[in-house]
Amino acid sequence: MRPIRSVTLSALTAATLVLSASACASSDDAGGDFEEVVIGADLELSGPTAAIGQAYQRALELKISQVNDSGVLGSRKLRLDPKDNRSDSSRSLTNVGAFANNPQVAAIVMGTCAQCVDKVADTVRDRRIPTIALAPAGMVASPVQKRQWVFKVGPNAADNAAALAREINDAKKKRVGVLYTDDEYGKEGYAALRAALGTGKVKAAVAVRPTDTDVSQAVENLLDRPEPVDAIVVWTFAEQAALAAASAAQEGFKGSLYFDGAAAGDLFLSGQRATEGATMVFTQTMVIDDVIATTPATAARKQWFRDYTAKYGSYYGFSSFAADAVQMVTNALQQSTSVSRDSIRSIVETSQFDGLSGPIRITPDNHSGLMPQALTVLVARNGRWRLATG
């Protein structure tokens, strides 16, 4: 398994957040007067994907603290306003409406719930508030004509599928089974994987609900074939991926396990024995302690990994996407002569920088910023994710 070589666009830019003219408020503290800029965050802080939502909140808080401590915003200070959507799109609509009504909120960051982003898309357009989605589903930022005010930072199904297909083909696997979530991202990933692998290689596929806490029957159905599969691709979030690996081991599966990047959770794996040897396509930052820093961008990623781990005890893979969302708004504020939401949106739409997740490029025709060069191949080894070599 060979790592996909990452490339950089430019040295990592400094951070600061963005704000609308109406998104500033005067405050007073020991350091004197400053303008407070609020980033609204609509996250899954409870419910089935709470682990991801809470990791996003931690990352947003850490990155905002770093921006404030750096002083790059001058007289401005950032503040996070997190709200729990409970993976309920109606609740997201309420949260986003409240953010839009608050003149201090300069931009919104949304979590992993694609349906939540879809539900609020018209609202953020009509209220003209820039929104950065961390959900992996492509539909959150596409078609661009309907997502003028929504941008995406995170894995893309087509890129992940292409990278997984290369690994599967290089390993000469002939019969592939796919376990995927019955939601927008799962369906998108399954279709992309079938296209990337070519005709006939996917021999079995089973969908599970995103809320399922037991996938043993689904895995059994996947393996119960006259001609057994020699590889399983798991296209789910981390908790279900771990369950699938354990179920496959219990069923005596001797083939290879492959995880989509959505399965990236904690650096250290709870189901060590079941996941040993599994392959995952994700960003290099997840295993940046295996990488020698030879560029400013790599050095910044190593520092982020250390800072997050020092503050929260263990690294969580998705955290860098939230930090990059802050950076996008930050860069827009640095470049803008105006602090209006319209100005922020216009600058975010042409973002190009080396993020903590990898190179990010957004254009008016493509609002999904993470480039395929950000991806590399990881392997589960001795209870944690490592950079694949050889």
Is the predicted pLDDT of residue 24 greater than 90, yes or no? no
What residue ranges define each of the domains in the chain, with the CATH number in brackets? 21-155+296-371 (3.40.50.2300), 157-259 (3.40.50.2300)
Identify the bridge partners of residue 82 per DSSP, sorted by sequence position.
41
Confidence of residue 8 (pLDDT cuts 50, 70, 90): very low
Is the predicted pLDDT of residue 23 greater than 90, yes or no? no
Read off the pLDDT of residues 279-323 as tens digits, 9 standing for 90 and up: 999 999 999 999 999 999 999 999 999 999 999 999 999 999 999
More confident residue, 10 or 352: 352
**Predicted pLDDT at 32:** 57
**Predicted pLDDT at 33:** 80
Q: For residues 215-243, b (16+ Cβ closer than 10 Å) or e, as one string? A: beebbeebbeeeebbbbbbbbbbbbbbbb
Tokens of 185: 């991202």
Summarize the confidence of residues 197-208 as an average pLDDT.
94
Place of tokens 């709870």: 270
**Predicted pLDDT at 324:** 99
**Predicted pLDDT at 35:** 84
Q: How far is CA 95 from the centre of its chain?
A: 21
**Predicted pLDDT at 390:** 57
Is the predicted pLDDT of residue 339 greater than 90, yes or no? no
Query: CA-CA distance, 286 to 33, in Å (whole number)?
Result: 39
Read off the pLDDT of residues 72-92 as tens digits, 9 standing for 90 and up: 888 888 999 999 999 999 999
Place of tokens 């963005």: 18
Contacts of 172 (CB under 8 A, 6+ apart): none
Query: CA-CA distance, 255 to 305, in Å (whole number)?
Result: 32
Summarize the confidence of residues 148-168 as an average pLDDT.
97
Q: Is 252 in a helix, a strand, or coil?
A: coil
Summarize the confidence of residues 191-196 as an average pLDDT.
98
Place of tokens 């961390």: 134
Q: What's this model's pTM, rounded to 2 decimal places?
A: 0.91
Mean pLDDT, all residues of the chain: 91
